[in-house]
Amino acid sequence: MIDLSEQALSVVEIHATAWGLPTSAERVAKRVCSTMDEISNFYDAMLPHMEEILDYLNQFSLDTIPDNVKPIAWTALAMCEVDNPVRWKSVTLSSGFDVLGMVPKSSFYDSSFVA
Amino acid sequence: MNIATNVSLPAQGSDALGIEKLPTDFYVCENHYRSELENVFSKCWLMVGRETDLAKSGDFFTYKIDALSVSIIVVRGKDGIIRAFRNACTHRGTKIVTEERGRLRGGMICPYHGWAFGLDGDLLNVPDEETFGCLDKDNEGLHTVSLDKWGGFIFINLDPHPQWSLKEYLAPLGEDLIKYVGDEQWTWSFGWKSRVKSNWKSPVDAQVEGYHITYGHRRTISRNVTAETTRPYINPGSIGVPGGHHLFRPEKLGEQTPIGLLAARYGATSLYAEPEKEFAANNFDQLAFSQHPRWILDGYLLFPNTVLFVQKGQLFIQRTLPLSPHECLWEVDFYHSEKPQKFGEKFNHEQGRIQIRDVLSEDLKIVEGIQENYRSGAIKEMNLSRQEVIIRAYYHSIRQFVEEGSSR
Ligand code: FES
Ligand SMILES: [Fe+2]
């Protein structure tokens, strides 16, 4: 087991408080309510360490990632959420439907709405 | 089938169904809408679930079409047979189950007065039966709904005597696809639902033509899929599958983001990047074009409300249901052949799903705007290119049902 370098660890730790959220739904909500500056800061700080972070996390089997490591995994996943905003230079797309209106389903059969 | 790497792509659509403009009133007209409910949704096969989700006897799920106030129970019986019933007690009409899925022990008991039905729908027990003047229990079973299966998916038909068997209906999809899609490897992995302020057909339109990709998705997907690399075709004479398309990557990929490239190392959920690791998928190699180095996916319109996208290791299904002429319930669901084992694979899934979500969000925004312009009467006719030929085929199928319905 190779540990994360101190640099990488300190960067993730700084950003895990804000971005290390357990579910996709929480991460998209976080993205949508962030400013472009917050998103860019997060992205720019994390990007140089992403390869290392993924290599580190890949040492575990997905089901047994230890609890104290999980926030690192969630923070890495949040990078997927901010990838497009960084490219667009915009938190959301004016040409897009409200992504929060696309509600995650719990199964194929989870079709109903509380209007 | 082995397709050489330099094989030319199929034609970019056709004019076979004519070139005239089509009216837009069938997206907004109340009468037309009611006729669709009566003649399309009440006569066609609709995808409602997956066989493997009903693994054990007593496993059930429900399916609702709110616009028709229809609620259906689909349940596996003790004999292993999957059946569909109206979710309606024959005593006085109470809904028997209220959950969207679950497991019934032994049978179904109506929550109002306790009539008990077997998993095969038979009425087994009536409390205080002697107080009913005349009750023929043998004729008071739950009302059966037509059900059949294709490629592991369960379809229902509200018509007690469907005009076509499901096999005939989906015949253009072919045996190889049944084998691929029907394999037990597929597990549901995620999905979204939304209420969209458009006619139920418009999100279908958006998934069956590639003409809009180049411009409409210029901020998302068009770096790797374009109008030019989408190849639509129609199935003349088929009601169930009016058409489909093949999607290829362009010869030269557009610019990738570092995150996209990183995700591509671990899997193939994203359409953005050429994956470095592919999913293992049974029965894949037989599919037409699967060996083409630039092939991404095949899409099929399953009339009337479903679009099925087939990829290596990933299935993606969009379904819509009408709520009014101007609003629909929209759902997408993803199935995967492999469960992520390592974080990298989860990262790949997450990246792929977010990219697809953002692409779909562009489609949904567009169709809501279209609805307003049809509704206001600003646009009474639409122009369709050869690349949008499936929309023409779709229109003709809808018309056929509505006209047959009105002449009955
Ligand atoms: S309505 Fe079902 S038992 Fe009375
Ligand atoms: Fe689209």
Handedness of CA B26, B30, B36, B37 (dihedral sign): positive
Residue B2 reports pLDDT greater than 60: no
Give me the sign of the Cα torsion angle B350, B352, B355, B356. negative
CATH 3.40.190.170 is the classification of domain B46-157: no
pLDDT at position B286, please? 84
Nearest CA in chain B to A114: B195
Which residue ranges make up each domain of chain B?
22-43+184-406, 46-157
pTM of the model: 0.95
CA-based nearest residue to B360, from B399, B401, B318, B390:
B318
Q: How far apart are CA B252 and CA B294, in angstroms?
A: 10
B215: Cβ below 6 Å to ligand 1?
Answer: no
Banded pLDDT at B3 (limits 50, 70, 90): very low
Q: Kindly report the CA angle at B250 between B244 and B255, in degrees rounded to 5?
A: 125
**Residues in chain B within 8 Å Cβ distance of A54:** 262, 266, 343-344, 347
CA distances from B142 to B44, B92, B98, B274, B350 (A): 21, 12, 16, 51, 43
C-alpha A64, offset from chain centre: 19
ipTM of the shown complex = 0.97
The answer on pLDDT for B260 being more than 90 is yes
A:B CB pairs within 8 Å? 141
Q: What are the extents of the domains in chain A?
A: 6-101
For B163-200, the pLDDT digits (tens) are 999 999 999 999 999 999 999 999 999 999 999 999 99
Q: A86 vs A43, A44, A103, B47, B262, CA distance in Å?
A: 8, 9, 23, 38, 16
pLDDT of residue B357: 94
Long-range CB contacts (< 8 A, 24+ apart) of A111-114?
Answer: A111/B64, A111/B100, A111/B193, A111/B321, A111/B329, A111/B331, A112/B64, A112/B100, A113/B193, A113/B195, A113/B329
Asked if residue B5 has pLDDT above 60, the reply is no
Name, in order, each residue with C-beta under 8 angstroms of A41's C-beta and a sequence gap of 6 or more: none
The CATH number of the domain covering residues in B22-43+184-406 = 3.90.380.10
In the prediction, which pLDDT does B13 show?
85
Index of the ligand 1 atom closest to the CA of residue B96: 2
Instruction: Say how far apart CA B348 and CA B265 lie, in whole Å.
Output: 8
Percent of chain B at pLDDT > 90 equals 80
Q: Is A81 helix (H, G, I), strand (E, B) or coil?
A: helix
Measure the CA–CA gap between B218 and B138, rounded to whole angstroms: 61
Q: How confident is the model over B30-59, as a mean pLDDT? A: 97
Considering CB atoms only, which of A24, A108, A111 is closest to B50?
A108
Residues B361-395: tens digit of each pLDDT = 999 999 999 999 999 999 999 999 999 999 999 99
What local confidence, expressed as pLDDT, does residue B336 receive?
A: 94
- Percent of chain B exceeding pLDDT 70 equals 98
Identify whether A48 is preceded by a cis peptide bond (ω within 30 of 0). Answer: no
Residue B113 DSSP class: T
Q: What is the pLDDT of residues A12-51, one digit of tens each?
A: 999 999 999 999 999 999 999 999 999 999 999 999 999 9
| Residue range A44-80, pLDDT digits in tens | 999 999 999 999 999 999 999 999 999 999 999 999 9
Determine the pLDDT at residue B365.
96
Tokens found for residue B184: 């037990």
What is the distance between the alpha carbons of residues B359 and B351, in angstroms, rounded to a whole number?
12
Q: Evaluate if residue B4 carries a pLDDT over 70.
A: no
Q: Write out pLDDT tens, residues B268-316.
A: 887 767 788 888 889 988 887 888 888 889 999 999 999 999 999 999 9
**Average pLDDT in the B63-71 region?**
97
Asked if the Cβ–Cβ distance from B350 to A80 is below 8 Å, we say: yes
Q: Is B219 in the pocket of ligand 1 (CB under 6 A)?
A: no
For residue A94, what pLDDT is reported? Answer: 85
pLDDT at B7: 61
Tell me B159's DSSP state: S
Is the CB of residue B95 below 6 angstroms from any atom belonging to ligand 1?
no
